[in-house]
Amino acid sequence: MNVLLVVESPNKAKKFRGYFPEFKIIPTIGHFKDLPTDRMGVEPPDHKPEWVVMEGKYQVERDLIAAAKQADVIYLATDPDREGEAIAAHVANTIGKASASKIARITYTEVSKAALNLAIKNKRSIDWPLVRAQEARRIIDRYVGYQVSPELTKKFKSLGNTGFLTSGRVQSVAVKLVVEREKEITSFVAIQHYGITVSLEKSAIPFFATWKPEIKDGELVTLRATAQEVVDRTQSLKVISSDSKPRVVLPPKPLTTSSFVRLMAAALKLTTKQAMDAAQKLYEQGLITYHRTDSPTMSAEAVTNIRAFAKIQNLPVPASPRDYKASANAQEGHECLRATDINLQDALISGVEDPLLISVYRLVWQITLESQLSDGLDLATVVTFENAHSDAFIARARSAKEAGWRAAAQKFGTDKEVIEAATALDNTNSPADPVAEQSKLPRLEIGEQLQPLKVDLQIKTTKPPERFTEKTLVEKLDKLGIGRPSTYASTIERILSVGYITRAKSLRLDPTTRGTATVLALDGHFSFLDYGYTARIEQSFDLIAHRKSDYLAVVTAAWNALDRELAAFRGAALPDTVSAFDLSCSPTAQTKSKPSKPSSNGQKPLTPKAETTAQTKSMPGQKCPDCTTGTLSMKKFKEGGKNAGKSFIGCSNFPTCKHFAWPH
């Protein structure tokens, strides 16, 4: 029997060929069909998308058609999410109705022989509502990008900006978050306030107590004289109460895409894209499960294997397996991001040589194990003191009583920073009281009097909110329901590439003049800039996927609202705050460190002057200014070193015409 297996990745295809040499395996290399780049590709009232073969993917289409004719069975084994379902649908539509009876859709979350065999046993038909949900997202994103971006560009021409400005349903909101955080920082007024720390010692154990003034939560002591008066009258401290309670320390939850990229940023200083690229490679090599997920659930088989491994290693496990529930707005039903084989502690053993991949795998393996271990248990002690004038002081300490899941870190030598980065992903492990904790307190009796070694008046200043980093921006996007696991990396890279934000080595994100001006121009005119809009529209996509809503109704409603907003935007003047910006050159940190211009399509690299000229004339949908007969459209480099995957504006007459410009 001739079996055709269609996957997305060449590396995954290579892996499966080793397991199933008798199969004909063809990778689609991601999406091979998309909306056209030189025109809208969809229009009301039916909003029917025009799917065309992407440039450079024609051979994929030909290979699929030819192989389908020879196959007795066709398994569409693309990724287990909406994007994968859409690719499977494109394959089915490409090979035609003649092969429809041969087609079966299969899904799996790990690249292994057992997983594929199980998937084949559980084969199904294509989930068309899931496909329609993905199409609805793609169409609405197309309407926003292709309708709003040209209007935005026109308005900024009056300010001397000659580049092409882009907008997007997700990217514009991400920029807005960064811009508004910057506004909070620049408008922040620091407040000086005061505290008191008393240094004490008993039984050769030094410790400290902190003043607890009688003020409402959130208030500060802003009068120095008030604090100084307490300092002057604190000649001794009397123990009023001492309370010790156990505090449960939960293990880190199984990783989702969001918590994974945040962990990689905290522990390894990786960008979101670097983290996802590493995960892709580990997934394709069968070492981790599918990495685009918003669910912390774990298969029963995996939990059983982890618990068995833990017992062999003399690590504590709870009486019953841990059951982590997905959030209410989790999109897909597949597993968390975890190591596929808990017995494989080191990726080097499986042939991975890249030190970065080894480090990433080690962290994933560690969280996979720790998530199923017993709670840690600490002893939290709070001692209250008073001076002779009844001013209250607090001393806190916390010590480990039972290591619980932390025993794994001790056994396998994990760095303390990694543990802190992992547990920081779950705020439930953070103490509610801001009073600093110390590791040890001496035994203190009620009524006991202690003489301070030192009483320090502390002069403090309130701090502005911190600028977003990749870690905290992803966390915020995830919390607000903006974007999905598959979009985090592309969204951040997109707003970097168009010069709306810059990224420091610390992964700190700063808005540029261009990004700030764009947000100010759009905000208040378009509903997609509202933080709740994206979450609501994502819920609409979920309803389509679950057969509770209709594609046409959702897309039509979004189109009608956008059409009304566009009409109003065309007639509105730019705010005065925007007009004050000088965007004639639009300098950004991104352009200062641009890589050398790619030459993957044969043209000579543009000089800065030539590039500026090209950008002045180049907008998608326009006639080519060089050959005058071709049409300009957005294209992507498939090679070119650092520029692989980047978008540029090129001519439909390529290679005869080699017109080139960066999109800005």
pLDDT in tens, 237-280: 999 999 999 999 999 999 999 999 999 999 999 999 999 999 99
Is the pLDDT at 594 greater than 60, yes or no? no
Look at residue 585 and tell me if it is in a domain: no
pLDDT digits (tens, 9 = 90+) for 189-246: 999 999 999 999 999 999 999 999 999 988 999 999 999 999 999 999 999 999 999 9
CATH code for the domain in which residue 420 is found: 2.70.20.10
Mean pLDDT of 575-579: 81
- Quick one: 150 and 116 in the same domain? no
Look at residue 588 and tell me if it is in a domain: no
Is the pLDDT at 647 greater than 70, yes or no? no
Is the pLDDT at 126 greater than 80, yes or no? yes
Look at residue 352 and tell me if it is in a domain: yes
- Quick one: 107 and 157 in the same domain? no
Question: pLDDT confidence of 578, banded at 50, 70, 90?
Answer: confident
- Quick one: 8 and 121 in the same domain? yes
Are 272 and 492 within 8 A, CB to CB?
yes
Question: pLDDT confidence of 108, banded at 50, 70, 90?
Answer: very high
Look at residue 584 and tell me if it is in a domain: no
Which contiguous run of DSSP H or E holds residue 377?
strand 376-386
Catalytic residues: 290
Look at residue 89 and tell me if it is in a domain: yes
Are 356 and 347 within 8 A, CB to CB?
no
- Quick one: 499 and 449 in the same domain? no
- Quick one: 100 and 120 in the same domain? yes
- Quick one: 417 and 492 in the same domain? no
Is the pLDDT at 620 greater than 70, yes or no? no
Instruction: Give the C-alpha separation, 179 to 175, whole Å.
Output: 6
- Quick one: 381 and 237 in the same domain? yes
195 CB-near residues (< 8 Å, 6+ apart): 210, 211, 221, 227, 457, 458, 460
Domain boundary among 418, 436, 461: 461
Domain extent for 277: 257-370
| 370 alpha-carbon distance from chain centroid | 22
Are 170 and 535 within 8 A, CB to CB?
no
CATH code for the domain in which residue 96 is found: 3.40.50.140
- Mark residue 586 as left, alpha or beta (left: phi above 0; alpha: psi -120 to 50; beta: remaining): left
pLDDT digits (tens, 9 = 90+) for 455-491: 999 999 999 999 999 999 999 998 898 888 878 999 9
Look at residue 587 and tell me if it is in a domain: no
Q: How many domains does the chain have?
A: 5
CATH code for the domain in which residue 558 is found: 1.10.460.10
| Secondary structure (H, E, C), 439-504 | CCCCCCCCCCEECCCEEEEEEEECCCCCCCEHHHHHHHHHHHCCCCCCCHHHHHHHHHHCCCEEEC
- Quick one: 541 and 506 in the same domain? yes
- Quick one: 39 and 140 in the same domain? no
pLDDT digits (tens, 9 = 90+) for 407-433: 998 888 766 666 666 666 664 444 444
- Quick one: 14 and 119 in the same domain? yes
Look at residue 521 and tell me if it is in a domain: yes
Question: pLDDT confidence of 103, banded at 50, 70, 90?
Answer: very high
- Quick one: 165 and 207 in the same domain? no
Percent of the chain predicted with pLDDT > 90: 71
The token pair at 559 is 């189109």
The pLDDT of residue 325 is 81
Domain boundary among 532, 555, 579: 579
What pairs with residue 383 in β-bridges? 242, 395
| Mean per-residue pLDDT of the chain | 87
Instruction: Give the C-alpha separation, 388 to 450, whole Å.
Output: 12
Are 424 and 265 within 8 A, CB to CB?
no
- Quick one: 109 and 11 in the same domain? yes
Domain boundary among 527, 552, 579: 579
pLDDT digits (tens, 9 = 90+) for 10-54: 989 999 999 999 999 999 999 999 999 889 999 999 999 999 999
Look at residue 440 and tell me if it is in a domain: yes
